Chains A and B, each alone.
Chain A
Amino acid sequence: MRKASPKSAPARAADPALKSLFEVHEATLPNGLQVRLLPNRQAPVVSLYTFFNVGSRNERPGITGISHLFEHMMFNGAKKYGPKMFDKTLEANGGSSNAYTSHDMTVYYDDFASDALETVLDLESDRMRSLRISQDMLTSEREVVKEERRVRTDNDIGGMMDEELGTLVYKAHAYRWPVIGWMADIDAISREDCQTYFRTYYAPNNAMLYIAGDIDPKKTLALVRRYYGDIPRGPAPLPVINAEPEQRGERRSTVRHPAQSPAVMIGYRGPAARDEDTLALDVAQYVLTKGEGSRLTRSLVYEQKLVVGVGLDWSWRIDPGTVLFFLELKPDSDPQKAEAALYAELEKLARDGITERELQKALNNLRSDHLRELGTNNGRAHAMGNYEALLGDWRHVLTLPSAYAAVTSEKVKAAAAKYLIPERRSVVTLLPAPSEA
């Protein structure tokens, strides 16, 4: 084990407030499992995260949603701890766990009392080594996931629109389908599909382990070696091809569904997480929608009174992602008017950039939010894993504030002029349809 030095990787200064918080110990096991340990004695609790480099971007038509369905299956029994025993053992030892699947990764976490550490390592390594996928558990879990799809998408207007938008923005890339998958595919995924998936993507060389909290790094690493050391390496997963063709003009689509008000969701094709432009777009996002005094909130909600709410979601992804705007309207709103008001603001941003004060304000808020995210063991472990999965190094946790500080008004203007333009735009409009009452 070597103790991490905050130099190497990103050639930027570490934030002094963070340096003292991140006494990270790192190691790589012979089977390729990467381990990061972060002691903190403030409370007698620990958070453990396991990141697997697999998400819906690794899927193909016919088995869309398998990453997520598989995530559910990871809780349904392995060789040592059979069906129901993972949660039962964990909770009876003072822990709780959950997981999520995104386009790019599948992430599992446990929060637990520090004296349950060894039990948790036993549970987690057991399912990484020897998951057992029973037909009965799959049959039942499939129904659970279908209910999840009904609640998030089929009976949720935002979910419906989001799904429609994905198919507009992406023509070839796997980001085209929703993480939860198409209903018919969820129905079709077989036990064999799951087994192949497990062998391909759940090997230790495709995983990263983060343990943060009330731990002794030396003893913990010895335990990790003991529990995970004998899990065999797997084949390197095939790389994902990004065959997305260039977009040659605005794309539009309409969703008709019983609703009180129209709504608009707009996606612009953005850069990949590792692209330098990503940081400029983060600053743009803060200027546009962070806080009541942000440009879009002030202009569209308070001054022009055209919308009830405006949201912007710019989520980093491994491959080029989407800068997503959402306009919540009033029952008698004209969606085109709201759209036009939004575009006028985006054009202004691309034409005039932002003021020095707006830039400083965005940087202050980016730093505050970053610090807040790092206020818990769970937040610290997750942040390290997330940056490592997306950017290739956990040290971005330390250097992100200074990376933002290098963003200038000019760069924000250039990013807006490059990405937030009609040629890169896809628009989904929800038009209220009469209910079939």
Chain B
Amino acid sequence: MASRKSRSPKSSPRRAAKKAPSRAKKPASTKSAPTSRPLVFPSLHESTTSSGLKVVAAERGPLPMVSMRLVIRAGSSTDPAGKHGIADFAARLLRRGTRRMTAEAIDEAVEFVGASLGVGVGEDTLSVAITTPAEHFAQMLEVMGQLVMEPTFPESEVADARERALAQFANDLDEPSVIADRAMVRALWGDHPYGHDVSGSTKTVSTFTRDDAVRYHQERLGPKVAMLVVVGAVDPMKVAQAAEKAFAGWAGGPDAPMVIPALARVVGAGRVVVVDKPDQTQSQVRLGGPGYRMGHEDYFPATAMNIALGGGFTSRLMNEVRVNRGLTYSIGCWFDAMNAAGIFALSTFTKTESTREIIDVSLGEITKVRDSGIKPGELRDAQTYMSGLYPLRTETNESIAHSIADMRLNGLGDDWVEKFRDRLRAVTPKQVSAVARKYCFAEAPAVVVLGKADAVKKQLRGLGPITVVPASEYE
């Protein structure tokens, strides 16, 4: 299957990057015309279990399915020094055995009924998510409770997981976009808690022991830094009862989330990193600078600006780089906002010969927006575009559960979804100009190019001091 815009090609089951700077979620919403109907967002029912776990439930049909997410403020930013990747490592082991169930029993319990279980770690959170046919939701909640309350981290599973992770780091070296993203994370964040790959590296993971996983679990996971969100065809009263039962006696862990510092400065600003992969015929290009944290007041003007600059098919970058010049298949920029800080980044790729050209054209477009903002018509179009598509985010149980977790964990307010379109439409050209001056690489960006170093290095003169590193640097 081939398509007009990147999708993961179906026929190649090589695992995708665990951490690509997430393409800002595809926008979704209604028109700026007064005809737009209000969004239907289900009402939220709250309860707290006797163990202190906050529960938010929303009833929603018509499909007989339920989606639940347990979100714990224990992401990769809480990894101790020297143990980068332990949150992700421990999270993967949760389902490999608990006090009452073996890994096989867990798999069977979940998968037999047609439910699916996913455990994921991001910079700020560890989440356990289960989607299940509605009639099995209470039983699935019990499984979820066991995973976080009483994992046993069997010694043999720890050894196997370590070996698999190390093989994966090696194989990642053959994924150009994964390594370019990894290099960019390091160039942007340096030794900030957000500055390492969620899964760690060969160097750190090879030191992991069972004790490391046990310690992480004891110190970082607990009801006071967790929240359970349940959305789907189930009565909220039943959710509260089932949660009480499933999480009874959960204790320990921190009283409050770890405080992550803001980003002082982008360590690689004004510098160029060339990651050498001599066999490439195409360069992966990344540019990046500082952004803002989740919930920041700049969110709406910056979002509107970014649609015009680098979102959708009609953005300035898409127009100049892809449509007018045929330099790439995919280009975009986005703000990646985490709980404590964020970045602004551009990602694209082009044949080796046009590496410098694509960087110059991209920087030119970003500079134009920094100097002159965007036209009132562009702002209007951006507002209509995103308002029109925004309701798509309220279409599934999963996306609603995501929204609820985001709103609560980042203090966005419970009216976040309902007010989203109004707040976006209230953005003025003046506000856009202000955020453009702030974020459109006012300071020279960090530059990462992955490709054939021999051929690209000489093209990159004048962009800043160049360091050439082998891809194995990011294993």
Please give the residue numbers on chain A whose beta carbons come within 8 Å of chain B beta carbons, in ascending order. Answer: 17, 20-21, 42-45, 68, 71-72, 75, 84, 87-88, 91-102, 111-116, 139-148, 150-152, 154-159, 161-162, 178-180, 214, 257-261, 290-294, 298, 301-302, 305, 308-313, 315, 324, 326, 328-331, 357, 360-361, 364-365, 367-368, 371-372, 374-378, 435-437
Contacts and interface: CB of A to CB of B under 8 A. Distances in A.
Contacts of B104: 293, 298
Contacts of B13: 158, 309-313, 326, 328
A93 B164 CA distance: 48
Given A17-B64, A42-B40, A113 B389 contact: yes
Contacts of A324: 11
B1 A100 contact: yes
Interface of B: 1-7, 9-15, 26-33, 35-37, 39-40, 62-65, 95, 103-104, 107-108, 110-116, 131-133, 160, 163-164, 167-168, 170-171, 173-174, 176, 276-282, 312-314, 319, 322-330, 349-351, 380-381, 384-385, 387-389, 391-392, 394-397
21 contacts: A45-B28, A87-B314, A88-B381, A94-B29, A113-B31, A113-B36, A146-B351, A147-B329, A261-B170, A291-B111, A292-B111, A293-B108, A298-B107, A302-B103, A308-B168, A312-B13, A328-B171, A364-B112, A365-B111, A375-B396, A435-B279
Which 3 residue pairs of A and B lie closest in terms of their CB atoms, listed nearest first? A94-B388, A311-B13, A143-B326
Contact of B95 (A258, A292, A308, A331): A292
A365 to B, nearest CB: 5
A292 B385 contact: no
Contact of B322 (A100, A144, A328): A144
A377 B164 CA distance: 39
A261 B171 contact: yes
Nearest to B350: A147
A329 B164 CA distance: 10
Given A326-B13, A364-B133, A92 B381 contact: yes
A21 B35 CA distance: 26
B167 A115 contact: no
Nearest to A260: B170
Contacts of A84: 314, 319, 323
Contacts of A360: 112
B282 A147 contact: yes
A222 B276 CA distance: 59
A295 to B, nearest CB: 12
The residue among B5, B115, B167, B282 with the most chain A CB atoms within 10 A of its own CB is B167
Nearest to A104: B1
Nearest to A361: B112
Contacts of A95: 385, 388-389
Given A101-B1, A364-B133, A435-B279, A112 B389 contact: yes
A361 B107 CA distance: 11
A305 B162 CA distance: 12
A436 B279 contact: yes
Contacts, number: 279
B278 A436 contact: yes
A105 B128 CA distance: 37
B424 to A, nearest CB: 12
Contacts of B62: 20-21
A372 B384 contact: no
Contact of B4 (A20, A98, A357, A435): A98
A146 B281 CA distance: 11
Given A45-B389, A144-B328, A365-B111, A305 B163 contact: yes
B381 A308 contact: no
Given A92-B381, A147-B328, A260-B173, A68 B2 contact: yes
Contacts of B171: 260-261, 308, 328, 331
B309 to A, nearest CB: 14
A111 B391 CA distance: 11
A363 to B, nearest CB: 8
A398 B466 CA distance: 59
B137 to A, nearest CB: 13
Nearest to A140: B326
B3 A259 contact: no
Contact of A151 (B14, B167, B329, B392): B329
Contacts of B37: 44, 114, 214
Contacts of A21: 62-63
Contact of B31 (A93, A298, A331, A365): A93
A261 B7 CA distance: 25
A158 B12 contact: yes
A144 B384 contact: no
The residue among B39, B281, B312 with the most chain A CB atoms within 10 A of its own CB is B312
B112 A371 contact: no
A100 B3 contact: yes
A71 B1 CA distance: 12
Given A100-B3, A151-B282, A368-B116, A111 B385 contact: no
A96 B385 contact: yes
Given A72-B4, A115-B31, A147-B350, 20 more contacts: A71-B3, A91-B314, A94-B389, A96-B312, A111-B28, A113-B30, A144-B328, A150-B349, A159-B12, A258-B174, A261-B167, A290-B111, A291-B110, A294-B111, A312-B13, A313-B13, A326-B13, A331-B171, A364-B113, A375-B396
B31 A94 contact: yes
A178 B394 CA distance: 37
B3 A45 contact: no
Contact of B15 (A157, A261, A309, A371): A309
A115 B11 contact: no
B13 to A, nearest CB: 2
A144 B326 contact: yes
A116 B35 CA distance: 11
A99 B157 CA distance: 43
Nearest to A297: B107
Nearest to B470: A437
A260 B470 CA distance: 14
Contacts of A88: 314, 381
A98 B329 CA distance: 13
A155 B281 contact: yes
B162 to A, nearest CB: 12
A227 to B, nearest CB: 20
A100 B323 contact: no
A152 B9 contact: yes
Contacts of B349: 147, 150-151
B388 A113 contact: yes
A152 B160 CA distance: 31
B116 A100 contact: no
A71 B14 CA distance: 26
Contacts of B10: 313, 315
B326 A17 contact: no
Contact of A375 (B33, B170, B397): B397
